[in-house]
């Protein structure tokens, strides 16, 4: 698969990390810094290091988790690049999930005003979403992804075999983003997901490969048409304005990103139905599929509606203090809406 004017390959398949030549070919300059985390490193780091044996290579293993996607950790990546003596032809290799990809990607965007980035996603979420499309960022306590840059990778290599070691909860969180593509753009794919839910949960390789390929094709198409999110790309944020508010309010230690997106999508669908924009039956289908994937579909207890609304106002997608939401007209038909009254949003947040 190739993405847009700035064409780059997205390789999807089993055993790709076991092909040292193709991995080495992704690092074109002298220096490579491999950034990974403490859960991924024991499984896959040695293979990547071995493949890059001919290069001047550094490694940075960060503690795992969303709470590590910080400016402080970003500083550690900068320090590692400096220690490596990385020049402008350096490559940053992000080996891990979306946290590593976003953080290492932001470092690649900033080091010497931008060096080569190769994404080796190892979570389903990273394969279907975060590794493709060039968004990079770190979180602040004030909000998710508030500091970042657009920086497209030179290549994405998704070895589907790495999903064998992914904890079940993380697999399910990734499925939330897969469901999103059906919800916003592809009713037929949504139907396919309903038919193959059990196969996906059982990690059937063919079902996973189809889900990843279809998701990446949607993401690549949307990003190619609107790289810097002036319009259509915003549709990918279906469920995210609600979801980010939940994640931030919980301090990044509660629901996983994909779980928060699952809740957010159902809230966005319910709001759409409340406003008469979409049929209730589609909201029910969305919630039912997410539940089959073991995902939450309601707000966690103890969160204040007013506080969540405050978080939503700080969301990057907002304009001039107004909350901009991605709602839908039903399955496969997402739309950008800027004039939703706050009282209606609050009513959804307060159940
Ligand atoms: N840039 C984008 O366009 C974009 C899109 C969606 C999400 N995101 C970001 O992605 C992040 C979430 O990514 P994520 O869900 O991949 O989380 P993650 O990177 O935290 O990975 C999830 C967990 O799985 C572990 N792990 C990863 N791969 C593994 C493997 N193969 N085997 C065993 N353990 C493994 C990790 O160590 C971590 O504990 C969020 O920060 C979110 O904001 C970015």
Active site residue 203: no
Q: Which atom of ligand 1 is nearest to the CA of 39?
A: 37
Contacts of 153 (CB under 8 A, 6+ apart): 8, 105, 117, 118, 119, 131, 132, 134
Calpha distance 98→104 (Å, rounded) = 10
Based on the structure, what is the number of domains in the chain?
2
196 with 150, same domain?
A: no
101 with 188, same domain?
A: no
As a whole-number percent, the residues of the chain with pLDDT over 70 amount to 97
Active site residue 30: no
The pLDDT value given to residue 299: 97
Calpha distance 128→47 (Å, rounded) = 23
Residue 88 φ then ψ, to 5°:
-65, -15
131 with 274, same domain?
A: no
Active site residue 257: yes
State whether the beta carbon of 98 lies less than 6 angstroms from ligand 1. Answer: yes
95 with 244, same domain?
A: no
71 with 160, same domain?
A: yes
112 with 219, same domain?
A: no
177 with 218, same domain?
A: yes
State whether the beta carbon of 66 lies less than 6 angstroms from ligand 1. Answer: yes
Contacts of 350 (CB under 8 A, 6+ apart): 305
In a domain, 1, yes or no: no
- Using the predicted structure, report yes or no on whether residue 4 has a pLDDT greater than 80: no
Centre a 10 Å sphere on the Cβ of residue 306 and count the other Cβ atoms it contains.
10
CATH number at residue 85: 3.40.50.1970
The pLDDT value given to residue 2: 55
211 with 293, same domain?
A: yes
The pLDDT value given to residue 230: 92
Q: Please give the residue range of the domain that contains residue 221.
A: 168-349
The pLDDT value given to residue 351: 82
Instruction: Among 115, 142, 165, give the residue marking a domain's end.
Output: 165
Tens digits of residue pLDDT in 146-203:
999 999 999 999 999 999 999 999 999 999 999 999 999 999 999 999 999 999 999 9
Calpha distance 143→244 (Å, rounded) = 8
In a domain, 285, yes or no: yes
Instruction: Among 165, 194, 215, give the residue marking a domain's end.
Output: 165
The pLDDT value given to residue 3: 54
In a domain, 5, yes or no: no
Please provide the DSSP assignment of 132-199 as one string.
SS-EEEEEETTEEEEEEEE---SEEEEEGGGGGGS-HHHHHHHHHHHHHHHHHH-HHHHHHHHHHHHH
Using most ligand atoms within 8 A of CB, pick from 42, 69, 96 the residue to mutate for ligand 1. 96
240 with 343, same domain?
A: yes
- Using the predicted structure, report yes or no on whether residue 223 has a pLDDT greater than 80: yes
Active site residue 232: no
Instruction: Among 165, 189, 206, give the residue marking a domain's end.
Output: 165
In a domain, 2, yes or no: no
96 membership: H or E segment, kind and range: strand 91-96
- Using the predicted structure, report yes or no on whether residue 327 has a pLDDT greater than 70: yes
Residue 181 φ then ψ, to 5°:
-65, -40
The pLDDT value given to residue 314: 79
Calpha distance 47→298 (Å, rounded) = 41
Q: Annotate 287-297 with b (16+ C-beta within 10 A) or e (fewer).
A: bebbebbebbb
- Using the predicted structure, report yes or no on whether residue 251 has a pLDDT greater than 90: no
What is the pTM (predicted TM-score) of this model?
Answer: 0.94
Tens digits of residue pLDDT in 5-41:
578 999 999 999 999 888 999 999 999 999 999 999 9
The pLDDT value given to residue 273: 98
139 with 195, same domain?
A: no
231 membership: H or E segment, kind and range: none
In a domain, 64, yes or no: yes
CATH number at residue 331: 1.20.1090.10
In a domain, 279, yes or no: yes
313 membership: H or E segment, kind and range: helix 305-313
């Amino acid at each position: 698969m190739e993405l847009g004017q700035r064409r780059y390959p997205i390789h999807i398949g089993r055993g790709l990390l076991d092909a040292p030549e193709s991995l080495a070919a992704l690092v074109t300059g002298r220096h490579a810094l491999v950034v990974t985390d403490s859960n991924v490193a024991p499984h896959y780091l040695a293979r990547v290091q071995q493949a890059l044996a001919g290069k001047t290579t550094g490694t940075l293993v960060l503690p795992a988790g969303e709470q590590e996607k910080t400016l402080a950790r970003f500083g550690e990546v900068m320090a590692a690049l400096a220690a490596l003596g990385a020049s402008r032809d350096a490559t940053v290799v992000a080996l891990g999930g979306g946290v590593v990809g976003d953080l290492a990607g932001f470092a690649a965007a900033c080091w010497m005003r931008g060096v080569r980035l190769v994404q080796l996603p190892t979570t389903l979420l990273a394969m279907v979403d975060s590794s493709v499309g060039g968004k990079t960022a770190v979180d602040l306590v004030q909000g998710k992804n508030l500091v970042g840059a657009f920086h497209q990778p030179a290549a994405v290599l998704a070895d589907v075999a790495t999903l064998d070691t992914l904890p079940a909860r993380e697999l399910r969180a990734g499925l939330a983003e897969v469901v999103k593509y059906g919800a916003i753009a592809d009713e037929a794919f949504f139907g396919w997901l309903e038919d193959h839910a059990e196969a996906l949960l059982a990690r059937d390789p063919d079902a996973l490969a189809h889900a990843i390929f279809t998701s990446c094709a949607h993401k690549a198409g949307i990003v190619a048409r609107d790289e810097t999110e002036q319009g259509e790309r915003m549709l990918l944020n279906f469920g995210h304005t609600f979801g980010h508010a939940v994640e931030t309010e919980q301090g990044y230690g509660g629901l996983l990103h994909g779980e928060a997106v699952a809740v957010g999508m159902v809230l966005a669908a319910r709001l759409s139905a409340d406003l008469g924009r979409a049929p209730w039956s589609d909201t029910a289908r969305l919630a039912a599929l997410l539940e089959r994937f073991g995902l939450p579909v309601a707000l966690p207890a103890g969160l204040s509606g007013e506080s969540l609304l405050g978080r939503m106002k700080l969301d990057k997608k907002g304009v001039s203090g107004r909350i901009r939401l991605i709602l839908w007209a039903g399955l496969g038909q997402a739309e950008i809406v800027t004039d939703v009254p706050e009282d209606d949003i609050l009513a959804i947040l307060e159940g």
